[in-house]
Amino acid sequence: MRIIVVDNYEEMSKKAALMVASQVTLKPDSVLGLATGDTPLGMYEELVKLYNKQEVDFKEVRTFNLDEYYGLDPENPQSYYSYMTRNLFNKVDISKNNINMPDGMAKDVNASCVLYESKIKTLGGIDMQVLGIGGNGHIGFNEPNVNFEAQTHLVNLDEQTIEANSRFFKSIEEVPVKAISMGIKTIMNSKKIILLANGLNKAEVIEKAVNGKINPSIPASILQLHNDVTIIIDKEAASLL
Ligand code: GLP
C-alpha cells in the first residue's frame, strides 16, 4: 500500500483527480470504477476543471459505479446515478453508452448482478477503481462481516450506514435498506485502486484498515492484499497512523 498524506481535502481531491487523469491519458479507453459519497466530490470537481482546460477527455472512457440503492429510480435525486450525472457525467464528454451502474430497479437482481460482472470482464476489467471508506470500514456497500469472495450482489445496509446516509434524505425512513454493490472480489480484481479519506472521523477506521488484521469486520482491510493500492488521505484521517 502506498500512503500519501496531504494537508487538506482540496489537496486530496487534486491528487486523486491527477491520478485519474493520468490513467485516462495513458489509456484513453480506460475502464474506471467510480465511487459516490461526500469524499470524492472534490475529485470530480477537479476532473471537470481538467476537462474544461482540455487536459483530459472522457470520449472513450468506460465507467462502472461501485453501488446503487435498491428500489430507487435512477431519476430519484438521491440515486447514485443522479449523483454521478450531477457531479461528473453531465459535465464532461463521456458517452451515455459507456456508463454502467448497478440496476437498483432490477426485477431479477441476480441476473442483473451477473450481467454487471460479465460486462466488466468483457471490457477487460477495471483499470482504476476509486474508493471512499465508510466509518465502519465498508467499501462500496460491503458492510462489516463481509464475504471476501462476493461479486456484485444485493446487500442489506448496516444500521450505521443507514444513519450516516440519512443526511441526504428528508428522514431516516426514506433511506433504502438495501443496495446493489460490487463485491470485494470485484474490487480486488481491479488493476489499480485509489482510496480517499479525509477528516478526523475517518482516522480510526483508516488505522484499522491499514495496520489492523485483515478481517471481514473491517472490509477495507482486505486491500492490504492488493498489489497496487494508493491511499490518499488528509492529515486528520492519517492522525492515528
Ligand atoms: C457510502 C458509499 C460508499 C462511500 C461511503 C463513505 O455509503 N456507498 O461508496 O465510500 O459511504 O461516504 P462519505 O464519502 O460520504 O464519507
The answer to whether the CB of 65 is under 6 A from ligand 1 is no
Q: How high does pLDDT run on average in the chain?
A: 97
Q: In the prediction, which pLDDT does 87 show?
A: 98
Q: In the prediction, which pLDDT does 53 show?
A: 98
Ligand 1 centre distance from Cα of residue 4 (Å):
20
- Give 186-220 pLDDT, tens digit per residue: 999 999 999 999 999 999 999 999 999 999 999 99
Q: What is the rounded CA–CA span in Å between residue 165 and residue 156?
A: 14
Q: In the prediction, which pLDDT does 74 show?
A: 94
Ligand 1 centre distance from Cα of residue 156 (Å):
15
Name the pLDDT band for 139 (thresholds 50, 70, 90). Answer: very high
Q: What are the b/e assignments for 49-78, b being 16+ CB within 10 Å?
A: ebbeeeebbbeebbbbbbbbbbebebebeb
Ligand 1 centre distance from Cα of residue 37 (Å):
4
- Give 3-41 pLDDT, tens digit per residue: 999 999 999 999 999 999 999 999 999 999 999 999 999
Q: Counting atoms of ligand 1 from 1, which one is nearest the CA of 132?
A: 10
Mean pLDDT of 95-124: 97
Helix, strand, coil fractions of the chain, as percent rounded to 5: 40, 20, 40
Q: Whose CA is nearest to atom 12 of ligand 1?
A: 37
> Torsions phi, psi of 16, nearest 5?
-65, -45
Q: What is the rounded CA–CA span in Å between residue 142 and residue 218?
A: 10
Which positions are annotated as active-site residues?
67, 136, 138, 143
For helices 9-26 and 41-52, give the axis angle rounded to 10 degrees. Answer: 50
Q: In the prediction, which pLDDT does 172 show?
A: 93
The answer to whether the CB of 151 is under 6 A from ligand 1 is no
Q: In the prediction, which pLDDT does 232 show?
A: 98
Q: What is the rounded CA–CA span in Å between residue 75 and residue 184?
A: 27
pTM of the model: 0.96
Q: Which of 158, 154, 126 is nearest to 34 (CA)?
A: 126
Name the pLDDT band for 163 (thresholds 50, 70, 90). Answer: very high
The answer to whether the CB of 98 is under 6 A from ligand 1 is no
- Give 140-158 pLDDT, tens digit per residue: 999 999 999 999 999 999 8
The answer to whether the CB of 42 is under 6 A from ligand 1 is no
Ligand 1 centre distance from Cα of residue 131 (Å):
8
The answer to whether the CB of 38 is under 6 A from ligand 1 is yes
The answer to whether the CB of 181 is under 6 A from ligand 1 is no
